Structure 1
Amino acid sequence: MKQELKENQGLPASLLWTLAIIAGISVANLYYNQPLLNRISRDLQTSEFTANLIAMITQIGYAIGLLFIIPLGDLFKRKTIILINFTVLVVSLLTIALTPYIHLILFASLLTGICSVMPQIFIPIAAQFSTPKTKGRNVGMIVSGLLTGILASRVVSGIVGEYLGWRFIFFVAAGMMVICLIIIMRVLPDMPCNFKGKYSDLMKSLFSLVIEYPQLRISSLRAGIAFGSFLALWTSLAFKMGQAPFFAGNNIVGLLGLCGIAGALTASYIGKYVHVLGVKRLNYIGCGLIFVAWFSLYFGQDSYVGVITGIFIIDIGMQCIQLSNQTTIFALNPKAANRINTIFMTTYFIGGSVGTFLAGTFWHWFGWQGVVGTGIALTACSFMINIFAKR
């Protein structure tokens, strides 16, 4: 396990599985708060809008981490970067679990978002060191682990929050970060750096990559805007389900996350067909599915069937868009895999934070109709970018 990996020579299956599992565990930190926002709002005696800021700031933190931390994976040892991030996560998660002050929770949520970027270091590792034949499948496997973590985080936090209080899940999360830190120290091998120079030169090279590759700009924008539509649902769902006719607790909201298993199970399958169907076609399919999901969430908003159908379909649609765009951009410049992924995922989570903010704002003004309108408008923007994008 300690041997140095070589580009395009393949990844050991045991290491791939380990990275996929840890990717899921670490990305879960971003989503524990979503089913609990209504409970946090009541406990801290803040408005729903203020509670929604916790989710938004976590997403902004993730975008900041992607922009300033992930590029370091091309300059310094990736293992060191990962270990530092896990250490900070332990502190930030314990802060959320212990503090009674909303402003401190918001700051700790920002740190949690910044340091939960490890999966976006793992994905370029899979892309860079897998054989050309297995690249799409292995990236899909890491993404499947990531999606399973998102899925499990909502389910577990909803159930734990209902019966043990919302703070308990953050104690558990901090403990899991300690375990991940120990495992990474033991199993992650050495990997060669891809960039020689200073950090300032590395950051300047990000802008060079954006200018040099139009496909990178297009892929990042259409995926990021679609992700904003996706998160518009998840950051508003707890408020919706807490009202008539459902009056559902956090455990029910969390269990609805199980519907997202469709996205986790289809990620690896979609990854195999990116080069068969093409990026543009998969984006049309993804946007079409998200439109269908929002119509189900609007017309079936007062029934579990309508809500569950919408969640099920929106997850599959989102994976069509994310995987098709993310898998293909690595071929633009394999030596700049971390920086290319930085540009893509920073845009992706900026789009997610915009969707979260808009959904919270329009929920405050117009209720569920405002959320649905936000989701449809963002999906339409992604669809239009795909129409006008050149091959």
Structure 2
Amino acid sequence: MTLDQIPGTPSQRHATTAAPGAGISRPLVLLLAVACGLIVANNYYAQPLLPDFTRALHISTSTAGLTVTLNQLGYAVGLVLLVPLGDLLARRTLVTVLLSIDTLALLAAALAPGAFTLIAMLTVAGISGCAINILIPAAATLARDDQRGGVVGTLMTGLLLGILLARTVAGAIDEAIGWRWVYGIAALAIAVLTLALRLNLPDLPAGRGAGYPKLLASVATLVRNEPFLRRRMAIGAIGFCCFQLLWTALPFMLSGAPYHYSAAVIGLFGLLGAAGAGCAQPAGRLEDRGAAHAATGVLLLVIGAAWALSAGGTGSLALLIAGILVLDIGVQGVHVLNQARMYGYPAHIRSRVTSAYMTAYFLGGSLGGALGVALYTAAGWAGVCATGGTLTILALLLWLTDRHRSPTGQETPPA
């Protein structure tokens, strides 16, 4: 089956819809970047609020933790089951529906009378939050070929800043006026965002020729038939695995000898993630300049160097901080380049490509989180860094097999 035969070929019946590849304005790019940040932040507000959940709702720590776990699981469900709909339905309408559900779920979380309602509503918010991964391929489809990488990079900057700032904002609001206001304000922000996107997001042609079951089945077909996509999925999954491996094990290391830092001080290390956010747009522009393949290899080497620096972190805080900064730059840069390159696939399958890639990316991160705890317990910080270095070598070997191929499988000049 060729790419043109994948179900969901764009319909020509919508003469009033936006033309793919016609270009996207700077104000719309900025609006979409803000949207990505506001939506993804909903998945991270709960983390600093867990102690308040336990006290206010009279629940155990493990029950409170379900607000985070099931929210993330809900997001994964949305990636698998809802994001492919971006290739079948009108995306502006789909985003409007998802964000309307998100608004109601956040409002219900703010008013939750008990733990069950709070957990359920944050799970729904996770599912509807997959709207991010409908907006990003929509922006890539609207963009001209020579601006696509920069557009994706800008949206990823907004997303990364949303992740970075969510915990800080939630903690500040919680301390000032209580945890319920975190979700009340978030609901208001998403409601305003929904209206802004409804008014300003151009409508792209809806797909045709595929029902929902065939649409989901075609994701597996894409993965089976496209070695380029499989390699990008694997490289992205390894990158996020490394990221979660470090950030899961790091609090254990910092709370013990020789640092003995408090939870508040450990939380400040999260601000180092700004380095990754800052490199997202420059990384995207490397795709526009035809340098994505070479840049990916360099960034994978950067990740390897990060593990070497971090390995000395038990004896030097400076080396540890340098390792964290360098790892964030490498992981986020590779992620942006992966996405920018994959949007070279035809417009009518980009949502399904995104679904496949982001599902692999999320699974890689989940594995990294699990490995972080197990490895630190069994082999300490040295074991964590050695495993991270080994994973990076594996990613480099995958990169070497890329052979400068484009998403359509054609040979392209070395970048």
Normalising by structure 1, report the TM-score.
0.84
User: Quick one: distance in 2 between partners of 1:282 and 1:247?
Assistant: 36
Task: Give the structure 1 partner of residue 372 of structure 2.
Answer: 359
Match of 1:118 in 2: 131
Report whether the alignment pairs 1:69 with 2:82. yes
Distance 1:98 1:110, change over 3 A: same
Distance 1:325 1:195 in 2: 28
Is residue 156 of structure 2 the alignment partner of residue 146 of structure 1?
A: no
Q: Which residue is 2:346 aligned to?
A: 333
Contact 2:50 2:65 in 1 (8 A): yes
Q: 2:261 aligns with which of 247, 250, 256?
A: 247
Aligned pair in 2 of structure 1 residues 238, 81: CA closer, same or farther (>3 Å)? farther
**Aligned residues of 1:155 and 1:254 also touching (Cα < 8 A):** no
Match of 1:323 in 2: 336
Q: 2:304: which partner in 1?
A: 291
Quote the residue 2:97 is aligned against: 84
Q: CA deviation at 1:129?
A: 1.3
Q: CA deviation at 1:35?
A: 5.1
> In 2 relative to 1, CA 313–350 (structure 1 residues): closer, same or farther, beyond 3 Å?
same
> What's the CA shift for 1:240?
5.1
Displacement, 1:23?
A: 0.9
Q: Which residue of 2 aligns with 1:204?
A: 217
**SS at the partner of 1:202?**
helix
Report the alpha carbon displacement of residue 389 of structure 1 after superposing the two structures with TM: 4.7
Residue 93 of structure 1 contacts residue 171 of structure 1 at CA under 8 Å; is this kept in 2? yes
- Take 1:92 and 1:379, find their aligned partners in 2: how far apart are those partners? 39
Residues 1:5 and 2:13 aligned together: no
Residues 332/229 of structure 1: CA separation in 2 closer, same or farther (3 Å cut): same
Equivalent runs, 1:83-232 vs 2, <5 Å: 83-94=96-107, 107-160=120-173, 168-232=181-245
Greater displacement, 347-356 / 25-34: 25-34
Using the TM superposition, give the Cα deviation of residue 318 of structure 1 relative to its aligned residue in structure 2, in angstroms: 0.9
Shift of 1:328: 1.1
User: Which range moves more in the overlay, 231-240 or 208-217?
Assistant: 231-240
Render the CA deviation track for 1:113-149: whole Å, top value 9, x for unaligned: 2221222112112211111221111121111211221
Kindly provide the CA deviation profile for residues 207-230 of structure 1, in whole angstroms up to 9, marking residues without a partner as x.
221122110011011101211221
Change (3 A) 1:151 1:367: same
Look up the SS of the partner of 2:344 in the other structure: helix
CA distance in 1, matches of 2:187, 2:307: 35
The alpha-carbon distance between structure 1 residues 42 and 226, as it changes in their structure 2 partners (threshold 3 A), is farther
Of 35-44 and 255-264, the range deviating more from structure 2: 35-44
Cα distance change, pair 313–105 in 1 and its aligned pair in 2 (3 A): farther
- Tell me, in whole angstroms, the C-alpha distance in 2 between the residues paired with 1:171 and 1:240: 35
Q: Is the 8 A contact 2:245 2:369 kept in 1?
A: yes
Which amino acid in the other structure matches residue 204 of structure 2? M
Measured against aligned partners, the alpha-carbon deviations of 1:140-188 in whole angstroms (never above 9, x if no partner) come to 1111211221222233235455666666534433332222223223322
- Secondary structure of the residue that 1:9 maps to in structure 2? coil
SS in 2 for 1:118: helix
Change (3 A) 1:328 1:237: same
SS state at 1:31 partner: coil
What is the CA distance between 1:282 and its match in structure 2? 2.9
Preserved CA contact (<8 Å) 1:92 1:112: yes
CA displacement at 1:344 relative to structure 2: 1.1
Alignment of 1:251-262 (within 5 A): 252-262=265-275
Show the counterpart of 1:59. 72
Q: How many residues align?
A: 386
C-alpha spacing 1:111/1:295, structure 2 compared with 1 (3 Å): farther
- Shift of the 26–302 alpha-carbon distance from structure 1 to 2, 3 Å rule, reads farther
Give the gaps of 5 or more residues in structure 1: none
Match of 1:311 in 2: 324
Are 2:61 and 1:46 aligned?
yes
Give the 3-state SS of the residue equivalent to 1:358 in structure 2.
Answer: helix
Please say which of residues 35-44 and 333-342 is displaced more in the overlay: 35-44
Amino acid aligned to 2:302: L
Instruction: Report if the CA contact (8 A) 2:21-2:142 is conserved.
Output: yes
Q: What is the rounded CA distance, in whole Å, between the counterparts of 2:50 and 2:385 in structure 1?
A: 19
Counterpart CA distance in 1 for 2:386 and 2:170 is: 28
Q: Distance in 1 between matches of 2:355 and 2:274?
A: 26
Q: Check conservation: 1:210, 1:217, Cα contact below 8 A.
A: yes
Whether contact under 8 Å (2:286, 2:292) holds in the other structure is no
What RMSD in Å do the two structures reach over aligned CA positions?
3.3
- Give 1:327 deviation, angstroms: 1.0
Q: Which runs of 5+ in 2 are unaligned?
A: 1-15, 405-415
Deviation at residue 260 of structure 1 after TM alignment: 1.7
Structure 1 pair 106–221 and aligned structure 2 pair: CA distance change class (3 A): farther
Q: Secondary structure at the match of 2:21?
A: coil
The letter of the residue matching 1:216 is L
1:266 corresponds in structure 2 to 279
Q: Secondary structure at the match of 1:191?
A: coil
